[in-house]
Amino acid sequence: DTEVTQTPKHLVMGMTNKKSLKCEQHMGHRAMYWYKQKAKKPPELMFVYSYEKLSINESVPSRFSPECPNSSLLNLHLHALQPEDSALYLCASSQVDMGLVVYNEQFFGPGTRLTVL
């Protein structure tokens, strides 16, 4: 399996809802990422997990809560979001070379299109 998969493809939620986004990869990659992308803009990094540990948090509001239960799975828990959080949420993964700690090319999933009403 050479792909990153994400579910759901689309999500509509109210500002009081709690929902979760899921990302999965079976390429043996040990780094996984969450990005947020607005229309016609580049992806913005939110979180990086390396070997299932959070290594980068780009000062993301606490209404976004990441979780990495195992080396293949990455979740993003959403709570009390605002309409401005509506965006495409992309997951990515990359290989990490042990010892060198080199992060190689990142492969993106298809994204979850989130709308917050």
Residues forming a β-bridge with 95: none
Residue 53 C-beta: closest distance to other proteins, Å: 11
The structure tokens 């000062």 sit at 59
Residue 24 C-beta: closest distance to other proteins, Å: 14
Q: Does 102 help bind other proteins (rule: CB under 8 A)?
A: yes
70 with 52: CB under 8 angstroms?
yes
Residue 80 C-beta: closest distance to other proteins, Å: 27
The span of 13-21, 65-73, 75-83, 95-103 binding other proteins (CB under 8 A) equals 95-103
Residues forming a β-bridge with 45: 35
What is the token pair recorded at 68?
């990495």
Q: Considering only CA atoms, which of 1, 17, 21, 3 is closest in space to residue 114? A: 21
Report 27-56 residues binding other proteins (CB under 8 A). 31, 33, 40-43, 45, 48, 50, 55-56
